[in-house]
Amino acid sequence: MITREAAETLVPFCRSVTRPVDDQLDRFWEHGIPSLCLFPFPLIEEARPSMIGNDRFVATETSLKRKALLLRELSGRRLAILRRRRHRQDWTAVRFAGATGG
């Protein structure tokens, strides 16, 4: 599920379709909307062999542009995770200081 506010935030990131919607939703470092999941999973996917084929997994030479995009994606994700950790640490320090009266 997604709230109206989150959907309005996502609109600019989905104007041109460059990847599947579920992949775009996973990219919290781009749009800033955290994804939450339920565990145990309420639905389980039935495993079946693919009808698409394995040709899509054949190794091909990766272009320099593609490598640059992959590096940008990885660094953006890592930076977002580091920011989240720092924010969490700062918040914990404030909460701890408030609890001890310091």
CA–CA separation, 78 and 70 (whole Å) = 12
Answer whether residue 99 shows pLDDT above 80.
Answer: no
> At CA 72, angle to CA 66 and CA 76, rounded to 5?
150
pLDDT of residue 60: 67
pLDDT score recorded for residue 59: 65
> Residue 98 pLDDT > 60, yes or no?
no
- What CA–CA distance (Å, rounded) separates 85 from 27? 17
What pLDDT was estimated at residue 40?
A: 79
Domain-wise residue ranges, the chain = 1-40, 62-102
Over residues 49-80, the pLDDT tens digits come to 877 777 766 766 668 888 888 888 889 888 88
What single DSSP character describes residue 24?
H
Average confidence score pLDDT of the chain: 79
Choice among 2-6, 35-39, 56-60 with the minimum mean pLDDT: 56-60
pTM value is: 0.45
